[in-house]
Structure 1
Amino acid sequence: METTESKQKKLTSSWIACCTKGFPVSAYKSTPSSESEYDDKKKYHSGDSPESETAQRKPGGWKAISFVLGNETFERLASIGLLANFMVFLLTQFHMDQVMASNVLSIWSGITNFAPLVGAYLSDSYLGRFKTIAYASFGSLMGMLTLTLVAWIPQLHPPPCKAPQGHDCKGPTTSQLAVLAMGLGFLSIGGGGIRPGETVVKKLLLTNKFRFLNKAAIIMEGELQADGSNSKPWRLCSIQQIEEFKCLLKTIPVWASGIICFTAMAQQGTFTVSQASKMDRHLGPHFQIPVGSLAVISMVTIGLWLPLYDRVIVPPLRKVTKVEGGITLLQRMGIGIGFSILSMVAAGLVEIKRRASALEHAGPDGIAPISVMWLAPQLILMGFAEAFNIIGQIEFYNKEFPENMSSVANSLFSCTAAGASYLSALLVNVVHKVTRGKNGQPDWLTKDINAGKVENFYFLIAGLGVLNFVYFVIVSRRYQYKTKIWIDEEEKPGFDVELNVVKQ
């Protein structure tokens, strides 16, 4: 008779083997033929045959990269270029007040950033990457054509208005707003299909984190078919599926901390634009800086900082911290949150100075005699925030999620930006209503920025950022990085890494 220990060991091996992939136990046993095939494969990859290199050459390479980078570059050029100037377009051409324009921009940005989740699902489950990107590229083209027609054809936007400060101007009609929304919708479809990322090959180990979820892998009577396959996939889960869900579950607190940080970043395209439009934008007697081009300051900051950080700062820092990236990914994200807080404080202080100058020396258009370069400090600080937090988030999600969730992992970053856009719209509407005076006094975010108090709105976001930073410190100190190993392409057939580790 078998001992209790041997029975338990046999049962453990059985349910782990079955649940790991949902296949029979026999599928994980190495046979002489599989050993021979493995040896042949190893010899084949060793380059003994002159034809092996040509036969094993995979599609892709630099030729494929040129197409991928080209497609991505032009999509981002269109979307980011539109985002930088869209606030100005809504204020000057559609005659919206800054609250409504900010809401339109935030809602569209939120939809666009949520769209990659749908694109990732369609790409991984139904269409495949090529068809998804092809359809999305067509959507981006249709969106840009529609918005070009909106700006070009007089019937698709309100008539020009020369009233001082933009008062009493005719707003857009319902049909004009519908065409505008259609163009933005096409762009959202385009962004949703192009932005999901590539697959990273990783395998997950069985962990003790959220151990109660491991019960989903225990085989009950009637849950296996005669051939050993899973007959009830909604009840019986594999170890891989359980660990995938654990990855998602434990990263949600970290993901939530990025929303307020991104809310601060979202102000670059809204109220920072309103500030710049009421400042002196001249560089010399003949050149005036376009309002939408100020975002270049933060982009240049990122472009200059990243090579300096990677090539100069990381190597000596790595020797001290013994961490591959100099500091951990969570530490990088925390530093980015800190810079976003400083950026909002700087924005508030600059707005106090700008508004005081405008009220004292304002011209006929309400433009303050103060250089627009006063906005550079807040944009530079926001550039550092993006360099640390955004890139840290992207690397964090790619390293913490398994291979068949890689597109969703990359899309999770976009969901952070989407949540921030909706939170920004919510804050704008709440502040607009709560701060409105009883006797007709203007609120913080009134149409005339010189009559409002945008600096208080910046300080409010900075205060939320401080609370978010405390929350992030608590979450990051308790976070445990995922245990993972890399799978070699020449892995032995039938060899299961999860089984090997668990059985030991």
Structure 2
Amino acid sequence: MAISSEKTTTTGPVSSKKGGLRTLPFIIANETFEKVASYGLLANMILYLLGDYHFKLTTGANILFLWNALSNFTPIIGAFLSDSVLGRFRVISIGTVTSLLGILVLLLTAVIRKARPPHCDLMPVEKCEPAKLGQRLLLYSSFALMSIGAGGIRPCSMAFGADQIDKPENRENERTLQTFFSWYYASTGISIMIAVTVIVYIQDKVGWAQGFGVSLGLMAFSTLMFFSGTSLYVKVKGNKNLFCGFAHVVSAAWKNRHLSLPPQNNFDGWYYHKGSKLVTPTDKLRFLNKACIIKNPSKDLNPEGIAKDPWSLSTVRQVEELKALLKVLPIWSTGIYIAASVSQQSFWINQATHMNTELFTRHFHIPAGSFSVFTLLSLTIWVALYDRLIIPLLSKRNRKRRGDQPQLRPGFTFKQRMAIGLAISCLATSVAAVVEKKRRKHALINGETMSAMWLVPQYSLVGLAEAFNAIGQIEFFYSQFPKSMASIAVALFTLGMGFGNLVGALILKIVDDGTKNYNGGNMSWLPDNPNQGRYDYYYWLLTLLGLVNLLYYFFVSWAYGSCEERKIWDEEEEEATEKVLKEEDLSKSKESAVFAA
């Protein structure tokens, strides 16, 4: 009587012949080459804007900041489209082609002479002819296209890869997924490492047109690789009711706000799918439970048991999906500050320009912008050690202790990893403060330039912080959402990075304006010349804010409660998937019998 006859939508594979490990090279190559191309452009773009477009430093920095922020915000739109309408395959396809077009337009700005203002070596750049409106629009359009492309690729590639190997009937399914997540993130780190070294070197030593041309070639290869695997992919269809369902829940909860909640064991009082295990809502965020209360079955439901007005009555599953999203938001918000802290590395690059960048010999200098390679190295090395050494050792120890008893998952939990990452980020900024104080003393008192290799520890700590916090965040979100919301799990991380860029810019603005006359002059803590400022004070402030954020994380993590990795809706999807596979096996058996006959 209180049951919808509507079928539960499965997000499982549609064919046992599709998917599997054989599809992963196509998917990982797609995002890897996209990142090599885009990050290689971003790392050195400020020099292109200053030298070829005659922008002032602050103007060029603001352009790049907006580009980076936009590239982190568009993935949430891509996630919505993939999960609710188009599906992940179509969104990745659109994003791949759009990124290719964006890099092509950028290459045109370097190849076509009239696409840029006339060459000028005058200083300051204000004396040079500025870029015309049409020239700027062509440049901005390339940035916009690449950001749109990133919005299609970045939130969906990881979830699309998980679709190919997520097989609930496999006992090692969880372990396989964790390994995939770790190595996917490691491949991302390696791709960015190549971008900030090889691509930047080509741009500096050979030319902008050649550097952009290499990026275009890599993106074209990425596009070819992805579409080569089209016939092999598991293509999960978008659930068109997902995001409308969120609006339905809010509307129904508001309309029913004056109703009293029925007892939890009163199954006839709740509206749910036929055969669903989600027959009663959970106790958390109880105000949303009123969205699935059936007031009058004859008025609320049609003869098939389906709600007549979805804006007045939602299913229990719809309510729980919205709850899942709302419940993780406090923990998600703690990742915003770590992104803000990492975005301050432009000051570390400026420090490097005032230090001795020789490595082993005076004939070899590390470019200031390439020191971020140490962040990527530490991230990649830790992921490899954790997955291939630490986890196997812990598993072996657990087997010895527990014998044949059911074993707990070895290693750190998702929430533990996020906490460790936040703590290490605080350590990184405190180390940066100590190193800067020492560097400044050497420069002002001793008149010496300290070795830039002193910056390596703070860069490496940032890599460790990201390895713990970023991977922990993504796995946590993925484990707490139904598979129909998998792309949102990844997009939440990039959305946090986007807000982190904005928060970082806000902190910088407040500090720069608030410390203008710190030494009786007109300069703040953060002038262009670090010898004239107090970057170390700024780093200590970031450390303090990081500690406050860590305490906030402990509170919201405690408030969140138990982190169960298996949800009822996943059990439903597993059963639906197994049913599909059994039907396929039965069909194959019948075909074999026919051919045998």
Residue 424 (str. 1) matches residue 509 (str. 2):
no
Residue 230 (str. 1) matches residue 324 (str. 2):
no
User: Do the aligned residues in 2 keep the contact of 1:257 with 1:468 (CA within 8 Å)?
Assistant: yes
Task: After TM superposition, list the pairs within 5 Å mapping 1:124-273 onto structure 2.
Answer: 124-151=83-110, 156=116, 159-161=119-121, 163=123, 170=128, 172-173=130-131, 175=133, 176-197=135-156, 198=159, 205=278, 206-221=281-296, 222-268=299-345, 270-273=346-349
- TM-superposed CA distance for 1:308, in Å, is 1.4
Q: What does residue 593 of structure 2 align with?
A: none
Q: What does residue 25 of structure 2 align with?
A: 66
Q: What does residue 526 of structure 2 align with?
A: 445
Structure 2 vs 1, CA of residues 473 and 433 (structure 1 numbering), >3 Å: closer, same or farther?
Answer: same
- TM-superposed CA distance for 1:415, in Å, is 0.7
TM-score (norm 2): 0.67
- TM-superposed CA distance for 1:460, in Å, is 1.7
Structure 2 vs 1, CA of residues 484 and 475 (structure 1 numbering), >3 Å: closer, same or farther?
Answer: same
User: Do the aligned residues in 2 keep the contact of 1:88 with 1:291 (CA within 8 Å)?
Assistant: no
Structure 2 vs 1, CA of residues 405 and 172 (structure 1 numbering), >3 Å: closer, same or farther?
Answer: farther
Residue 435 (str. 1) matches residue 518 (str. 2):
no
Q: What does residue 37 of structure 1 align with?
A: none
Q: What does residue 107 of structure 1 align with?
A: 66
Structure 2 vs 1, CA of residues 130 and 491 (structure 1 numbering), >3 Å: closer, same or farther?
Answer: closer
CA distance in 2, matches of 1:279, 1:90: 25
The code of the aligned residue for 1:192 comes to G
Residue 390 (str. 1) matches residue 478 (str. 2):
no
Q: What does residue 81 of structure 2 align with?
A: 122
- TM-superposed CA distance for 1:132, in Å, is 2.0
User: Do the aligned residues in 2 keep the contact of 1:344 with 1:378 (CA within 8 Å)?
Assistant: yes
CA distance in 1, matches of 2:73, 2:308: 34
- TM-superposed CA distance for 1:315, in Å, is 4.3
Cα offsets for 1:270-290 (capped at 9, x unmatched): 222222222222222332222
User: Do the aligned residues in 2 keep the contact of 1:350 with 1:375 (CA within 8 Å)?
Assistant: yes
CA distance in 1, matches of 2:544, 2:57: 22
Structure 2 vs 1, CA of residues 153 and 434 (structure 1 numbering), >3 Å: closer, same or farther?
Answer: farther
CA distance in 1, matches of 2:139, 2:534: 30
Structure 2 vs 1, CA of residues 89 and 468 (structure 1 numbering), >3 Å: closer, same or farther?
Answer: farther
Structure 2 vs 1, CA of residues 424 and 128 (structure 1 numbering), >3 Å: closer, same or farther?
Answer: same
Q: What does residue 292 of structure 1 align with?
A: 369
Q: State which of 420, 428, 432 in structure 2 corresponds to 1:335.
A: 420
Identity value in percent? 38
- TM-superposed CA distance for 1:378, in Å, is 0.4
* RMSD, aligned CA: 3.1
- TM-superposed CA distance for 1:82, in Å, is 2.6
Cα offsets for 1:252-303 (capped at 9, x unmatched): 11001111111111223x2222222222222223322223321111111111
CA distance in 1, matches of 2:47, 2:538: 20
Structure 2 vs 1, CA of residues 193 and 346 (structure 1 numbering), >3 Å: closer, same or farther?
Answer: same
The code of the aligned residue for 1:428 comes to L
Task: After TM superposition, list the pairs within 5 Å mapping 1:316-327 onto structure 2.
Answer: 316-317=393-394, 319=398, 323-327=408-412
Residue 478 (str. 1) matches residue 566 (str. 2):
no
CA distance in 2, matches of 1:346, 1:174: 44
CA distance in 1, matches of 2:442, 2:59: 26
CA distance in 2, matches of 1:312, 1:117: 35
Q: What does residue 384 of structure 2 align with?
A: 307
Q: What does residue 7 of structure 1 align with?
A: none
- TM-superposed CA distance for 1:89, in Å, is 4.5
Cα offsets for 1:367-418 (capped at 9, x unmatched): x622221110100110110110001001011001112111112111111101
CA distance in 2, matches of 1:213, 1:177: 48
Structure 2 vs 1, CA of residues 338 and 239 (structure 1 numbering), >3 Å: closer, same or farther?
Answer: same
- TM-superposed CA distance for 1:449, in Å, is 3.4
CA distance in 2, matches of 1:131, 1:80: 24
Structure 2 vs 1, CA of residues 409 and 57 (structure 1 numbering), >3 Å: closer, same or farther?
Answer: closer
